[in-house]
Chains A and B, each alone.
Chain A
Amino acid sequence: MKHTIVLNGCSETFLSQAEEVNGFAAAYLKDSRADKTIIFHCTDRHKPFLIANSPTPSTQLIRLPRYQPEIILRTLEQLEASSNTELYLFPGDFAGSELSPRLAYRLGGSSLIAVNKISRTENALTCHKAVYSNYMQAEFKLSERPYCISLAKGSTDPLPIAVENDVEKDVSEIDIANQEWSNTVLSFKGDQKSEPEKACAHIVDYEFVKKEAASGLENANYILVAGRGVKMKEKVDKLHTIAGQLGAELGVSRPVAMSAWAPLNKLIGVSGIMAKPQICITAAVSGAAAFYTGIEKSKLIIAINTDRGAPIIRASDLAIVDDYEKVLDELVQIITEAQCKGDTSL
C-alpha cells in the first residue's frame, strides 16, 4: 500500500501531530510505502524544522497565508486528483478531523474519523474505532479508495521522528501565499480571482487569538479531576487550590467545562485532553466512557464518589466512597503535615 501523511504546519502543534502519525504508522503501516508528507505552512522561518520533523523521506511543503480548510481542500483536491495514493493519514486534531472526510468526498474515496487501529485486507482497509460514546469498539471495512482517515487522539504512543543524517530528504515546494494559483502545478484557469481568494470569498474579516498557554495536563504526572458532582464554580476553584497543594494539575469533566466553571483547556476526555499521568484522582466524576477514555492511560486511578454504584468505582484501582470535599480536605492536611515533617518528596 502507498500512503500519504497530511500535517498542519501552520499550527504550533505540528511536532505532536508529526509524532502522533509517526507512532501510528510505525505500529500499523510497517508494510506500507510512505509516499510523502504534505505539510501546509505559513512562514518560511519554520521550514527547516518542518522538514526535519517530517515523518517521511519525501516532503511536499505548501505555503499558504494561514490554515484555511477551504484553501487546503482545493489544493489537495487538485494535487492529488491523479495520485495513486491509497491512504491519506491525518492526525486526530481539529484540522485532521475536518479535512479527512471532506477530502475523501472530493476524491471519491471513503473516510473514517478517530481511528485507533488499522489492518489491510484485500481490496479494503479494516479500521477500528470507538462508537457509542466510547462504550463500544467497532470494526469497519473501507472499500472506496483513497481511504482518508484521521486518528483517535492518544490511541497510539507518539514516536519522535528519527534523525537520519545520511538520508537526503526529498523536498518539493508550492507557494500559494504569494503566487497566483493559475500556475502549472495547480492547473486552475480562467478566473480573475486567484483560487485562495475564491476559496475564501465568504470570509470578510479574520482574526486569530492564540491559545492561552497549554494547561500542561497532557504531560502531567499527577492530576486531580473535578466532575459535575462538585456542583459550583467556587468548588472548582477550591479544587484548583487543592490540586496545587497536592502538587497535581487540575482537569475537569465536560459538564464542568460546559458550565464555564473552568476553562476548556482543562477538559479531559474524547472531546478534550487525553491524559496519561502516573496518578489520577477523580472527585465527583461518574466515569462516563467519553470521559474515562481521557484517563484510561493513567497508571493509578483513585476515584472519590458518594455513590458506590457509579461506574468510575469499578473502573478505578482505588476508590473512596464518600464526599469528595471532606476526603480531599483531610488528604491535604495529611500531606501538609508530612511535608512539615520532611516525610515526602513533595
Chain B
Amino acid sequence: MNILTCFKIVSDLDLMSESDWVVEDHFRINTSFVKNMINPYDESALEITLLYKEQAEKLGSAVNLSALTIGSKQLDAYLKTLYALRFDKAVRIENQHDLRFSPDAISTVIANYVKVIKKPEVIILGRQSGVGDNAKTPLLVAEHLGWPCISQAVKIEPASEGLLKVSSMADDGLVIETIRPPCVLSIGNAPNSYLRIPTLKDKVNYGKKEIEVLEIENYLNQAVLEQPSEGHNITGLKPINHKRQGVVIEGSTPAEKAQNLYHNYLQERLKQL
C-alpha cells in the first residue's frame, strides 16, 4: 500500500500577543517571529499514518509512506524528522506565493502531483489548519481526483486484502467502515495522536536522506498562482476582541481568594441558577 500524507507548517498563533495582530498590505499578518509547528490536525494525520504502517507490517503487508508539504526551504527540517520517523519519501513543493486562503489551489497542486506520480492509493490530510481555517483541502483533493473522502477520521487500521478499516466521527456517533482504496482520509479530533519523537539513532541513520524538491509551477498554472481563482476573495481582516474586565481577585492565600470569589461574586449568582 502506498500512502501519501500531506501536512502544513503553521505559526503557533497562540504565542502572538495582542499587539502583534497587525494587518499589512494584501491582508497579510507578520507571524514570522513566533515559532512554527506542524498544524495539529496534520500532526495527527502523520502519527496515524505511522501507527497504520506499524500495524500493517505486523500483519506482513508492505507499506510505503510519503510525506508532502508545500512551502519554502525552512520546512526541510520537518521533512528530515519524518525521514527519521521512517517515512520512505519526503517531498516539498517549493512555493513562495500567498496561498493562505486558496484551498482550491493547494488541492489542485496535491491532486496534480498524485496524478503524475500515479502512486498513492490513500491520501491522508488533517481536516483544517489554523491560518486560513479553510477546512476544504482534503475534500477538494478528493473532488479533483474523483475519489471518495472520509472526513473526521480518527483511526485507520489494516484489514485483509489491501482494505482499510477507518473509524470516523459522525454528528451522532462513530462510523466504522472497511473500505477499498483509493480514498482520501481527512483527519479530525483523534485522541492520542501527538507525533512521536525520533530516536537520536534514527535521526543519524535516516534523517539525512535527500528531500525531493519540486516546483509548484509544474502542478499549477502560473496565472492561477498569481491570482488564485477560488470563487472567493478576501476583502477584509480585523482582530477579534476577546477582552473582558479581567478583575483580579486579590488575597494572600488561595483560601482568601476563594472566600472573596464566593462571597463577593458567586454566592448570589449561584442562587439564581
Contacts and interface: CB of A to CB of B under 8 A. Distances in A.
A143 interface: yes
A267 B172 contact: no
A241 interface: no
A222 B131 contact: no
B248 A308 contact: yes
Interface string A268-283: 0001100000110000
A9 B16 CA distance: 42
Contacts of B135: 97, 113-114
B51 interface: no
Task: Decide if the interface of chain B is mainly helix, strand, loop or mixed.
Answer: mixed
A289 B242 contact: yes
Nearest to A212: B173
Contacts of A8: 171
A133 B178 contact: no
Interface residues on B, range: 35 or more
B177 A135 contact: no
B170 interface: yes
Contact of A300 (B182, B237, B269): B269
A102 B107 CA distance: 12
Contacts of A318: 245, 247, 249, 261, 265
B194 interface: yes
Interface string A187-204: 000000000000001111
A205 B191 contact: no
Interface string B42-69: 0010000000000000000000000000
Interface stretch (A21-29, A51-59, A159-167, A322-330): A322-330
Interface string B167-194: 0011111111111111100101111111
B78 to A, nearest CB: 19
Given A135-B13, A138-B234, A344 B270 contact: yes
A296 B183 contact: no
Contact of A290 (B130, B246, B265): B130
B89 to A, nearest CB: 25
Contacts, number: 278
Contact of A132 (B130, B186, B254): B130
Given A205-B177, A289-B240, A133 B130 contact: yes
Contact of A208 (B29, B173, B179, B265): B173
B237 A139 contact: yes
Given A114-B133, A247-B273, A315-B246, A334 B233 contact: no
Contacts of A326: 254-255
A177 interface: no
A330 B255 contact: yes
Contacts of A338: 262, 267
A281 to B, nearest CB: 9
B249 A320 contact: yes
A37 interface: no
A85 interface: no
A315 B242 contact: yes
Q: Which 8 A-B pairs have the closest CB atoms?
A: A110-B231, A139-B236, A330-B258, A133-B130, A144-B231, A326-B254, A205-B178, A260-B191
